[in-house]
């Protein structure tokens, strides 16, 4: 059905030695996987935001009580 010349097949084999797709989840520790890294960054950002919010609340309390 789809026929190719032998020269084209040789070139295709020459250029594509590794036919497997890159999968970052294979053969990695759980802490090194992309989703784990993103989750760590998200948690860090949430902690910073929470800390800043609490600081703002404390500052507002001091202003009101004066």
pLDDT per residue, tens digit, the chain (66 aa), is 455 666 666 665 566 666 667 777 777 788 888 899 999 999 999 999 999 999 999 999 888 776
Q: Is 19 contained in some domain? A: no
The SS3 of residue 55 is: helix
Separation CA 21–CA 25 (nearest Å): 12
Q: Is 39 contained in some domain? A: yes
For residue 60, the enclosing domain spans 28-66
Structurally, how many domains does the chain consist of?
1
Separation CA 38–CA 65 (nearest Å): 41
Q: Is 1 contained in some domain? A: no
- Identify whether the C-beta of residue 28 lies closer than 8 Å to the C-beta of residue 36: no
pTM of the model: 0.53
Separation CA 14–CA 12 (nearest Å): 5
Q: Is 9 contained in some domain? A: no
- Using alpha carbons, select from 15, 16, 33 the residue that is nearest to residue 24: 33
Q: Is 21 contained in some domain? A: no
């Amino acid at each position: 059905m789809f026929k190719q010349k032998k020269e084209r097949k040789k070139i295709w084999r020459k250029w594509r030695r590794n036919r497997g797709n890159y999968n970052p989840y294979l053969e990695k520790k759980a802490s090194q996987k992309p989703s784990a890294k993103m989750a760590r960054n998200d948690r860090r950002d949430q902690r910073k935001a929470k800390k800043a919010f609490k600081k703002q609340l404390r500052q507002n309390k001091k202003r009101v009580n004066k």
